[in-house]
């Protein structure tokens, strides 16, 4: 019974595919996977938009959506209908082809990134030996789509917003990738299911063998989440859409359904990188305790996924937007050097792997924390250098 609950979706798709002729069953299975992924994450998009607005309203002491449907729960449907029926306005001077293709180039590749994520035991659409390389290769296409949107609009606000976005996304991809390298070293594999399997078991009989429960894993998780926030264009890194200075950045000349596709693409990118964080650092679909392993594996993935999405919303409600110089300095002068230091911390952890006792584990933690604390303080002080005094502004009279 437990095994059937854990594999319910796998059994269901094979049962349905069994009604098709044997020749086309692989294609039918592929179709079921595509429809399932688009249905699940399409509904996640709708649910996240309403929950984010509700949570932000609660945290900021105001009302969220409460007019459409009971408790405002039908607000995503109203928003989608509004986007579909809004007029699609394209500037006369715009490059019509690129203007049309940009939102598609952002949204379509993101769906492919979900195909390599293991959402549960035996629940990975593609079993690639280099799945994480495929994930990052797909994610890198978003920079091209954003630049296409800004360039094709023939608008200075759009072009500046696109250049900001490309500079930000390229800058924060570096620490994002560097934060994953210790994981690949520890798992000795580029396959995401293998990385999840490497986090099975428990340390000292009670602590989950998740990579986040190591000093280099905890530091890598923090670096990964910060870089993922910037890659997803989330506050406090939402400078490309700075409405106070760039109107809406590279989205200035988009309206209607094209704008909705950009909105969908950003959330899908957030879901993809959140699923990757769960896979790399939080044990994927593994339970946090042995006595909880009776709960289906896909449930644990969903719980961890939802917790990280709530963390993104919490950060958005809490932190103000950075300046552009602060954003770039933070990436290149703090995150990248600290991610490189974290590689040596992971090496020190691996070399001290013979210390299996509780005291030895404590010494390994102290060693890793000490190796991280010194560069953390030094790099942090370097960031603040020159920021201690008041900024001077001059205005035209």
Summarised one tens digit per residue, pLDDT across range 204-223 is 777 888 999 999 999 999 99
The span from the CA of 242 to the CA of 236, in Å, is 11
Where among 85, 106, 134 does a domain terminate? Answer: 85
pLDDT over 50 (residue 53): yes
Q: Is 36 part of any domain?
A: yes
31 lies in the same domain as 146: no
pLDDT at 344: 92
**CA 142 from centroid of its chain's CA atoms:** 13
Element (H, E) at 202: strand 202-203
237 lies in the same domain as 217: yes
pLDDT over 90 (residue 277): yes
**Per-residue CA distances from 156 to 129, 144, 250, 263 (Å):** 43, 18, 9, 21
Region label for 233, one of left (φ > 0), alpha (ψ between -120 and 50) or beta (otherwise): left
pLDDT at 393: 62
- Domain containing 300: what range? 88-380
Q: What interhelical angle do 25-59 and 96-113 show, nearest 10?
A: 100
pLDDT at 226: 94
The span from the CA of 391 to the CA of 385, in Å, is 13
194 lies in the same domain as 68: no
Q: Is 113 part of any domain?
A: yes
75 lies in the same domain as 95: no
Q: Which of 18-27, 225-234, 272-281 has the lowest mean pLDDT?
A: 18-27
| Structure tokens belonging to residue 229 | 């926030």
| Structure tokens belonging to residue 51 | 């929950």
71 lies in the same domain as 199: no
128 lies in the same domain as 156: yes
What does the pLDDT look like over 348-358, one tens digit per residue?
A: 888 887 777 77
Q: Is 387 part of any domain?
A: no
| pLDDT band at 244; cut points 50, 70, 90 | low
Average pLDDT over residues 365-386: 84
Number of helices (H), then strands (E), in the chain: 16, 2
Short-list 350, 309, 306, 370, CA closest to 181? 350
* CA triple 364-367-370, angle to 5 deg: 145
* Average pLDDT score over the chain: 86
Q: Is 336 part of any domain?
A: yes
14 lies in the same domain as 134: no
Q: How many CB atoms lie within 10 A of CB 172?
A: 25
Q: Is 393 part of any domain?
A: no
| pLDDT band at 392; cut points 50, 70, 90 | low
| pLDDT band at 1; cut points 50, 70, 90 | very low
156 lies in the same domain as 261: yes
Element (H, E) at 208: strand 207-208
Where among 85, 103, 133 does a domain terminate? Answer: 85
| pLDDT band at 386; cut points 50, 70, 90 | low
Q: Say if residues 335 and 226 touch (Cβ distance below 8 Å).
A: yes
Q: Report the domain count for the chain.
A: 2
Report the percent of the chain where pLDDT is more than 90.
26
Q: Is 395 part of any domain?
A: no
Q: Is 364 part of any domain?
A: yes
pLDDT over 80 (residue 44): yes
The span from the CA of 359 to the CA of 181, in Å, is 28
What does the pLDDT look like over 100-144, one tens digit per residue?
A: 888 888 888 888 899 899 998 888 888 888 889 999 988 888 888
Q: Is the peptide bond before 51 cis (omega within 30 degrees of 0)?
A: no
Where among 85, 111, 141 does a domain terminate? Answer: 85
Q: Is 77 part of any domain?
A: yes
Q: How many CB atoms lie within 10 A of CB 361?
A: 16
The span from the CA of 368 to the CA of 212, in Å, is 13
The span from the CA of 52 to the CA of 363, in Å, is 41
45 lies in the same domain as 101: no
22 lies in the same domain as 137: no
pLDDT at 390: 59
Average pLDDT over residues 299-321: 92
**Per-residue CA distances from 64 to 47, 57, 151, 315 (Å):** 14, 5, 35, 17
What does the pLDDT look like over 167-206, one tens digit per residue?
A: 888 999 999 999 999 999 888 889 999 999 999 887 777 7
Short-list 246, 247, 218, 230, CA closest to 316? 230
Beta pairing partners, 202: 208
pLDDT at 125: 85
The 3-state DSSP class for residue 203 equals: strand
Render 74-116 in DSSP notation, one character per residue.
Answer: THHHHHHHHHHHS-----TTS-HHHHHHHHHHHHHHHHHHGGG
357 lies in the same domain as 266: yes
Residues 81-105: b if buried by 16+ CB within 10 A, e if exposed: eebeeeeeebeeebbeebbbbbbeb
220 lies in the same domain as 108: yes
Q: Say if residues 106 and 146 touch (Cβ distance below 8 Å).
A: yes
């Amino acid at each position: 019974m437990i095994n059937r609950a854990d594999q319910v979706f796998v059994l269901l798709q094979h049962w349905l595919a069994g009604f098709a002729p044997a020749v086309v069953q692989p294609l039918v299975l592929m179709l079921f996977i595509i429809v399932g992924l688009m249905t699940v994450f399409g509904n996640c998009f709708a649910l996240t938009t309403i929950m984010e607005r509700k949570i932000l309203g609660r945290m900021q002491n105001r009302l969220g959506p409460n007019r459409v449907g009971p408790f405002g729960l039908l607000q995503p449907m109203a928003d989608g209908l509004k986007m579909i029926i809004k007029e699609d306005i394209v500037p006369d001077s715009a490059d019509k082809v690129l203007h049309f293709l940009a939102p598609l180039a952002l949204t379509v590749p993101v769906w492919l990134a979900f195909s390599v994520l293991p959402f549960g035991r035996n629940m990975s659409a593609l079993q690639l030996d280099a799945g994480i390389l495929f994930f990052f290769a797909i994610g890198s296409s978003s920079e091209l789509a954003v630049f296409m949107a800004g360039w094709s609009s023939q608008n200075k606000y759009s072009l500046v917003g696109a250049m900001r976005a490309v500079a930000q996304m390229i800058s924060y991809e570096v620490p994002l990738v560097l934060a994953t390298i210790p994981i690949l070293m520890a798992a000795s594999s580029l396959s995401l299911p293998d990385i999840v399997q490497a986090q099975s078991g428990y340390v000292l009989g009670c602590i989950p063998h998740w990579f986040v429960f190591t000093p280099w894993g905890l530091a890598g998780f923090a670096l990964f989440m910060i870089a993922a926030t910037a890659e997803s264009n989330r506050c406090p890194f939402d400078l490309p859409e700075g409405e106070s200075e760039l109107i809406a950045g590279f989205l200035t000349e988009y309206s209607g359904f094209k704008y909705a596709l950009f909105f969908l693409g950003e959330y899908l990118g957030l879901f993809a990188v959140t699923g990757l964080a769960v896979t790399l650092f939080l044990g994927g679909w593994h339970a946090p305790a042995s006595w909880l392993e009776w709960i289906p594996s896909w449930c644990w993935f969903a719980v961890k996924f939802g917790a990280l999405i709530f963390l993104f919303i919490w950060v958005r409600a809490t932190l103000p937007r950075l300046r552009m110089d602060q954003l770039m300095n933070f990436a290149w002068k703090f995150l990248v050097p600290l991610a490189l230091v974290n590689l040596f911390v992971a090496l020190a952890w691996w070399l001290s792997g013979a210390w299996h006792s509780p005291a030895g584990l404590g010494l390994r933690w102290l060693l890793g924390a000490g190796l991280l604390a010194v560069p953390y303080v030094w790099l942090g002080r370097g960031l603040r250098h020159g920021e201690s005094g008041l900024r001077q502004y001059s205005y035209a009279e």
